[in-house]
Structure 1
């Protein structure tokens, strides 16, 4: 029996889907962790990108600083955080590591989207008497939405794939299926866990692609 059929047998076994360590529970934990990290990342990155993009100052520096995090492996950041005083703060070392990983694509895409808004449209809005905040919220933000959504999609998919490291810090998620497979020397379980993570990432990608297509300001149909 080859590894493919063994993996299929593992996935088809109802016992692996139920119980506190089953797939459904781990999937819920993975979704919760991904959602929390994505929301925190958006709360940090998007306001900074929108304001700097609106002002046209300091954005390049902020993007470059945030992109430094891409050069450092998330696992290395997690290890350092676990060895620091916050290592005892439950899931927070994992959350911080994942947030640092998700901020760069959010910040970069939102800033680029804001700076890509046609200057003539912005000047026309100001000529109509709009204040800076009104121009930002009513003109620039809608026109930058396609790239902002792209950044959110990229960050979400990356978080789904990377959130498996939570298992290394004792957290939940689909990564626990993979680490348990290693502990049991069960290659089919390891492969099954990897397949579940990949399928979950593809599902998230599809959901955000649909959201982008449904956006009234998607590429090619922007207001102007």
Structure 2
């Protein structure tokens, strides 16, 4: 409890809100790493998951299963170990942090997009095709809207994991909220460490809240009830 109270006092110090080591600057750095990793994740995983879920046939099912198993297997990779490996192989400053975050975030987006499309009733697809829709139209006008609750769940999970894990950027000399945690531990300033941890937790809760609002706005009430049950 003393660490929490010390952290609260730490938030009240004016020095924490100014300069390159202040909370606003470190927060922007953290959001930059997180947003970039999330954007790369969405570009890679979301179209692939939707496409694999849409395509039918034994061969496509086998390919989809292989991709999903590979994606789930990536969850077992140690993030810090992968970060250390990429640092030794890359000359870039930003790539080492992006690769572990993307590897961590791809599985929930890919798996949920695939599962959401796969769970669409075949009769709805047949009816859409009977109306003259092409395969692309069926995917975007029928399957994707019906899969949206699971798709948003995967995106929310990925975003929270990225925001929570982006603190490891401090291990390779980058900024972000992880600087408070790492530097506080090095200097034995545990109020700084606790303050950084609280900021990361609050940011994760904010992401959760924003996706809850997005779900209420973008998903119809009927689909929300179906997904909840």
TM-score (norm 2): 0.92
C-alpha distance in 2 between matches for 1:76 and 1:154: 22
- Give the SS at the match of 2:165: helix
Aligned to 1:182: 185
- Give the SS at the match of 1:45: helix
Deviation at 1:220?
3.1
C-alpha distance in 2 between matches for 1:75 and 1:5: 30
C-alpha distance in 2 between matches for 1:137 and 1:182: 49
Deviation at 1:216?
3.5
- Conserved in 1, the CA contact under 8 Å of 2:38 and 2:105? yes
Q: 1:93 aligns with which of 96, 100, 106?
A: 96
**Is 1:196 equivalent to 2:226 in the alignment?**
no
Deviation at 1:221?
7.4
TM-score (norm 1): 0.94
- Conserved in 1, the CA contact under 8 Å of 2:148 and 2:219? no
C-alpha distance in 1 between matches for 2:225 and 2:6: 47
C-alpha distance in 1 between matches for 2:83 and 2:142: 39
Aligned to 2:131: 128
Aligned to 2:55: 55
Deviation at 1:3?
2.3
Deviation at 1:138?
0.8
Aligned to 1:109: 112
Deviation at 1:2?
2.7
Task: Structure 1 unaligned segments of length 5 or more: list them.
Answer: none
Q: 1:156 aligns with which of 152, 155, 159?
A: 159
Question: Which deviations, in whole Å up to 9, do the C-alpha atoms of 1:96-117 show, x marking residues without a partner?
Answer: 1111110000001000001011
Question: Which deviations, in whole Å up to 9, do the C-alpha atoms of 1:45-83 show, x marking residues without a partner?
Answer: 011111110003222211110111111111111111111
- Conserved in 1, the CA contact under 8 Å of 2:149 and 2:219? no
Aligned to 1:74: 79
- Give the SS at the match of 1:21: coil
Aligned to 1:22: 22
Aligned to 2:37: 37
Number of matched pairs: 220
Aligned to 2:174: 171
- Conserved in 1, the CA contact under 8 Å of 2:6 and 2:191? yes
Task: Structure 2 unaligned segments of length 5 or more: list them.
Answer: none
Aligned to 2:143: 140
Deviation at 1:4?
2.5
